[in-house]
Amino acid sequence: MSPLKLIHDWFLQEDDATRSELVHLAAAYHPTASMDAAMDDAELITLFEAYLTEEIPSKKEVVQRVFFIKSLLEACLFGRDTEEGWEVSKRRNAYIHERATQRESESLTQIYDKFLETFDERKAKWIAWSAQWQELVNDKLRYDNLYYYGLGF
């Protein structure tokens, strides 16, 4: 099975909201210009999936794309893969929420209210999804496996 297909299957395991968060993080560094032009979450997810499922004739190009995606996803998952990272995020967001409340910024306060209300659920999802990613990387997307895939084995 193509390593990009493995990544795509991993990506599909999570709900739309979590996938949307991930692709918004990834879009900032993604080389495909259409990611920047995406109008909504569904379109952004579709473009990211297309990047993973596009027919690529060369196994070498597949491996190059996997190297990029691995680095991109590791950067996106950083801080979302551990309890400690989430606690830092919670403190940071609670501080911003407090400041928004003091300034009576209702729209900003609502954003952070929602973040803090869903914090534990989101934290659990991201940590579990990150663990699944690490398992995939350690099992199927190791450099030796990618090397042999690129050679046609």
Q: Mind listing the pLDDT tens digit for each residue in 83-106?
A: 999 999 999 989 998 998 898 888
Q: Are 90 and 115 in contact (CB under 8 A)?
A: no
Residue 40: the pLDDT is 84
Enter the pTM of the model: 0.87
Continuous segment of H or E residues that includes residue 114: helix 106-117
Residue reference for tokens 């801080």: 79
If DSSP codes are grouped into helix, strand and coil, which group holds residue 80? coil
Continuous segment of H or E residues that includes residue 150: helix 143-151
Euclidean distance between CA atoms 130 and 18, whole angstroms: 11
For the segment 47-56, the average pLDDT, to the nearest whole number, is 92
- Number of helical H runs and strand E runs in the chain: 9, 0
DSSP annotation of 13 reads T
Furthest-apart CA atoms within the chain: distance in Å: 61
Euclidean distance between CA atoms 45 and 2, whole angstroms: 20
Residue 82: the pLDDT is 96
Residue 33: the pLDDT is 58
Residue 148: the pLDDT is 93
What mean pLDDT, rounded, does the chain reach?
90
Residue 4: the pLDDT is 97
> 11-15, 113-117, 118-122, 141-145: which has the minimum mean pLDDT?
113-117
The Cα angle at residue 53 between residues 48 and 54, in degrees rounded to 5: 95
